[in-house]
Amino acid sequence: MSSHSTLELSPAAKRALTLGALGVVFGDIGTSPLYTMRECISHVPVADRAAGVLGVLSLIFWSLLLIVSVKYLWFVMKADNQGEGGIFALLALIHSKSKDAKGNVSRRALGPMVIMILIGAALLYGDGIITPAISVLGAAEGFNMISPAFTPYVTPMACVILAGLFWVQHKGTKSIGGIFGPVMLVWFIGLGLLGAWHLIKLPSVLKALNPAYGIALLHHPPAQVATLLGSIVLAVTGAEALYADMGHFGKRYIAFAWYFVAFPGLILNYFGQGAFILSHPNLTDNPFFAMAPAGWGRATLTGLSIVAAVIASQALISGAYSLTRQAIQLGYFPRLKINYTNAEQSGQIYVPFVNTLLAIGCILTAAVFGSSDKLASAYGIAVTGTMAITTFAYFFVARRNWNWPMYKIGTICALFLVIDFAFFSSNALKIVDGGWFPVAIAVVVLAVMHTWKTGRDAVFAVVYANNVTESELIDIAHSKYIVRVQGAAVFMVGSQQGTPIALLHHVKANHSLHNTVILMSIVTEDVPTVPENKCLDLREIGAGIWRANGHYGYMQSPNVSALVEMMHTAGVKFKTNGTIYFFNREMVLNGGNSGMWEWEKAFYAFLTRNSRPAKDYYQIPPSQIIEMGLPLQL
């Protein structure tokens, strides 16, 4: 279950984890009150305003309760992989039960469930672009409530804030991460107090806790109900973050932060907004900012909203970095440059290429849509799509990994899917009004992941089609035509049993072989991390040839130089500072029979040329590297 043991942590550490979870996990869902109630009320399909407000409040309350408290906290977060969560954790759990005929874990294949999970991951990138834009825009619109003179400057201000947010990413979150929790604590307390202030004036809105009011609102024509549900879902955006960030804080502390701070603060604020709307029947402004006293009250709330929106955006941006690294390690994404921003926390990373794309996407989104209400039409489809896919994957894990009976898991997931599909179908109606935007982003990301995975499998099949066995390799090493030279050579090989083509080309061209030869493979396990004492599997083949398999989790980045040092420590005799590393540089050519479409081959060739070279990704000194061209027909 959780990686954080309650027996080992002091009370101060537990409080810190709870506060940290509040700052990172609940930033997205915590900024939803900025625009959710406004959007919902604008789509209430009834003439009776009071019934409409009570129905909306009821739907928001029960959506938060069923989706966050029940689905994620009670059920989905049980599907952890050594304490880690997220959609790729589900993928790894599914892979861990995929056996071949010999009982070994089979090579990862692009089956229907894998494709579905990749779609969910791709949708998260769309969410990562829209969430910062809508959160910062929604917060900046508070200036409209201070003075109408600010209206022309709201969108430019939001774009400047977003630009600044992405510019500071290279510095890492260590310096600013410490203030996330305390600021979000102030935010949720402020939400609760502001809502309670108006709730006390009209406590009758608490009747909305009765689900009958929400059900009554769903009795209207389907088109009207679908439009309303498309706005209700804005209240639960960010729920997936609970699961994705489970490994950072632990299920227990995420639950503490939700039940004792986030959930009460959100409910009080939503019900306070409802009371304010009923008390001001002619209200046309955003009820969230209108609740605050004019003047300093609204100015303070606007400033705090902007800070909370930035924090919420930071959580999504950091999540995109982690998602990318996991995809790279699992073989579904091209290698990219990854910078580590905190020597003490391997999870705090910065991916420049992803940051640039997110920055461009977010700023353009804010500039083109111009307001949070227009952007709300594009928001939701990515979130609800991922939620539905998470339910399917959870069902798969519960059946295959835990052997839950069909009646048990079927009943649970059927309930979740009814909710998921209701929200997803309602958001599908937004496609024309802007919902196409996150879908387009997801399609591009999915094309990259599918093409890269298919291309890598095709390359693997070509390279190891006529593989040289270990006994044949020993015969080559003992050949009288081969000269053994001083030093050590490391040949990177994609198969744990294969012989790299670079070695065969080297022998054929130079008729020589180093005294110590290491066939190095990097294996990504279906676990988040592999302990250092278990990351190296070393075996002597003979004739000075060794096979070394480096094992890493999907949340770790491989370090070949460190593995070579471990081999030296383990007793293999060679000088590490003089070791030569041999790599293939693939040159993809047309004309093969891999089964890939021609456009896929061209796209894969493009991705290969622009991905980070393996020699850099594996953290090897550049002065010790020799690259050899490898033409491949796919």
**pLDDT value at position 173?**
60
CB 519 within 8 A of CB 499: yes
3-class secondary-structure state, position 7 = coil
**pLDDT value at position 52?**
92
CB atoms within 10 A of CB 481: 8
* 441 and 583 together in one domain: no
Pure H helices in 169-221:
174-201, 211-217
How long a stretch of residues is the chain? Answer: 634
Q: Work out the end-to-end distance of the chain between its first and last CA atoms, rounded to an integer number of angstroms.
A: 43
SS3 breakdown of the chain: % helix, strand, coil, rounded to 5? 65, 10, 25
* 450 and 471 together in one domain: no
**pLDDT value at position 246?**
84
Q: What are phi and psi of 334, to 5 degrees?
A: -60, 155
**pLDDT value at position 103?**
41
Cα–Cα distance between 222 and 607 in angstroms, integer?
A: 45
Here the tokens at position 225 are 């109900």
Question: Is residue 357 in some structural domain?
Answer: yes
Question: Is residue 3 in some structural domain?
Answer: no
* 510 and 413 together in one domain: no
DSSP 576: G
Cα–Cα distance between 360 and 480 in angstroms, integer?
A: 60
* 366 and 506 together in one domain: no
Question: Is residue 195 in some structural domain?
Answer: yes
Q: What are phi and psi of 114, to 5 degrees?
A: -65, -45
**pLDDT value at position 234?**
92
Among 456, 485, 500, the domain boundary falls at 456
* 411 and 485 together in one domain: no
**pLDDT value at position 46?**
66
* 330 and 479 together in one domain: no
Pick out the chain residues at pLDDT < 70: 1-8, 45-46, 97-109, 172-178, 342-347, 465-466
**pLDDT value at position 488?**
92
* 213 and 327 together in one domain: yes
CB 197 within 8 A of CB 272: yes
Cα–Cα distance between 129 and 328 in angstroms, integer?
A: 20
Question: Is residue 2 in some structural domain?
Answer: no
CA angle 246, 248, 252 (to 5 degrees): 50
Here the tokens at position 531 are 């302990």
Query: Amino acid identity, residue 523?
Result: V
Cα–Cα distance between 24 and 64 in angstroms, integer?
A: 18
CB atoms within 10 A of CB 569: 10
Cα–Cα distance between 239 and 234 in angstroms, integer?
A: 10
* 509 and 552 together in one domain: yes
CB atoms within 10 A of CB 215: 13
Question: Is residue 622 in some structural domain?
Answer: yes
Cα–Cα distance between 198 and 279 in angstroms, integer?
A: 9
Pure H helices in 330-375:
352-369, 372-375
Cα–Cα distance between 245 and 234 in angstroms, integer?
A: 20
Among 426, 456, 486, the domain boundary falls at 456
CA angle 568, 346, 567 (to 5 degrees): 10
**pLDDT value at position 102?**
42
The tally of domains found in the chain comes to 2
* 401 and 507 together in one domain: no
Cα–Cα distance between 446 and 439 in angstroms, integer?
A: 10
Dump pLDDT digits (tens) for 159-173.
999 999 999 888 766
CB 312 within 8 A of CB 237: no
**pLDDT value at position 340?**
76
* 436 and 472 together in one domain: no
Cα–Cα distance between 54 and 37 in angstroms, integer?
A: 12
* 437 and 541 together in one domain: no
| Among 495, 559, 505, 568, CA closest to 532 | 559
Cα–Cα distance between 295 and 110 in angstroms, integer?
A: 57
**pLDDT value at position 465?**
66
Among 437, 456, 475, the domain boundary falls at 456
* 344 and 429 together in one domain: yes
Cα–Cα distance between 427 and 229 in angstroms, integer?
A: 8
CB 339 within 8 A of CB 616: no
Query: In sequence order, what are the residues at sequence separation of 6 or more whose Cβ sits closer than 8 angstroms to the Cβ of residue 62?
Result: 211, 214
Cα–Cα distance between 516 and 493 in angstroms, integer?
A: 16
Range of the domain at 340: 11-103+112-456
* DSSP result, 274-292: HHHHHH-TT--S-HHHHTS
Question: Is residue 331 in some structural domain?
Answer: yes
Cα–Cα distance between 622 and 600 in angstroms, integer?
A: 31
